[in-house]
Amino acid sequence: MEKTFFISADIEGITDVTFWSETEEGQEGYEAARAQMTREVAAACEAVLESGNLPVVRDGHGNARNISHLDLPEKTVLMRGWACHPGSMMAGLSAAYSGVLYIGYHAPAGSDGSPLAHTVDHEKVKWAKVNGRLMSEFTMNSLYAAALGVPSLFISGDETICRLAAEEVPQIAALPVKTCRGNSTRNLHPLEAARKIKESVAQQIAAFQQDPSAYAPPALPEQLTLEVCLSTHQGARSALRLPGVTQLDPYTVRYVASTPKELNIAFELILG
């Protein structure tokens, strides 16, 4: 019986993407980044389809209209745009999915793992932590998936996010397509990156299908303590409008959530 796999895609961790302009529609380099994002997502979709299963893709970057649907394999469902859903980059995910694949993910704010390191909003967030650990978008999204009982199976992106993801979810298959130093990146060839994504996803799905219990999501902590260091002191004061937020210093606030869904909502409201 065929299963459905959810693919959450971002752009900053895509091969060759190095500058903010390449991530923004209408700016220099964006069309090339968009094409490679589509290529890497298509590679994951091909692996899912060839395993006898179905892929559903969530375009999770910016305005969520970066991926060319026509360049994805047939039978791929693509979700575009936003619907004010607490899942954000995971909007549409439910317990009916068998697993999640993350394409084009990147190092978090507060790290030096990418010239594009950030967590949700690079202009507002200096760093964010959950339960004392630096929080990436993968952290948020894998917790959200785990709360639904859906395992996180694969991630591609920069070397740093692949390392951090493997620390948080040891059974995940992690494929770095680039390493980053300062404001530079060292990348695989775009076609090689796509080929390796397809191969790695295929291997991971095959292993998962053989023994799904080995990939069960980790147990969720009883509470999720969110700390956010904002770029302005006014931002920190503004966040106090959310009930439950406390201020730790002129730039840093704290909120204690009981679920990943609540964590996501609180983080969005803190950013304003």
User: If pLDDT is split at 50, 70 and 90, which confidence band does 1 have?
Assistant: confident
pLDDT digits (tens, 9 = 90+) for 220-259: 999 999 999 999 999 999 999 999 999 999 999 999 999 9
Sort strands 224-230 and 125-130 into parallel, antiparallel or unpaired.
Answer: antiparallel
As for how many domains the chain has, the answer is: 1
Q: Is residue 244 part of a domain?
A: no
Cα(41)–Cα(57) distance, integer angstroms: 8
Q: Is residue 121 part of a domain?
A: no
User: If pLDDT is split at 50, 70 and 90, which confidence band does 50 have?
Assistant: very high
- Sign, CA torsion 32/40/102/165: negative
Residue 197 belongs to domain with CATH number: 3.40.50.10780
Paired tokens of 31:
């069309």
Terminal-to-terminal C-alpha distance of the chain: 44
Amino acid found at 235? G
Q: Is residue 54 part of a domain?
A: yes
Give the mean model confidence (pLDDT) for residues 40-68: 97
Q: Is residue 238 part of a domain?
A: no
Q: Is residue 150 part of a domain?
A: yes
pTM of structure: 0.97
User: If pLDDT is split at 50, 70 and 90, which confidence band does 7 have?
Assistant: very high
Q: Is residue 193 part of a domain?
A: yes
Cα(262)–Cα(82) distance, integer angstroms: 18
Residue 225's alpha-carbon distances to 64, 119, 133, 144, 244, in angstroms, are 29, 16, 10, 15, 11
pLDDT of the residue at 107: 98
Q: Is residue 270 part of a domain?
A: no
Q: Is residue 58 part of a domain?
A: yes
Q: What domain range includes position 211?
A: 4-111+136-215
Residue entry with tokens 């095959």: 206
Contact 68, 34 (CB under 8 A): yes
Q: Which of 138, 135, 114 is nearest to 125 (CA)?
A: 135
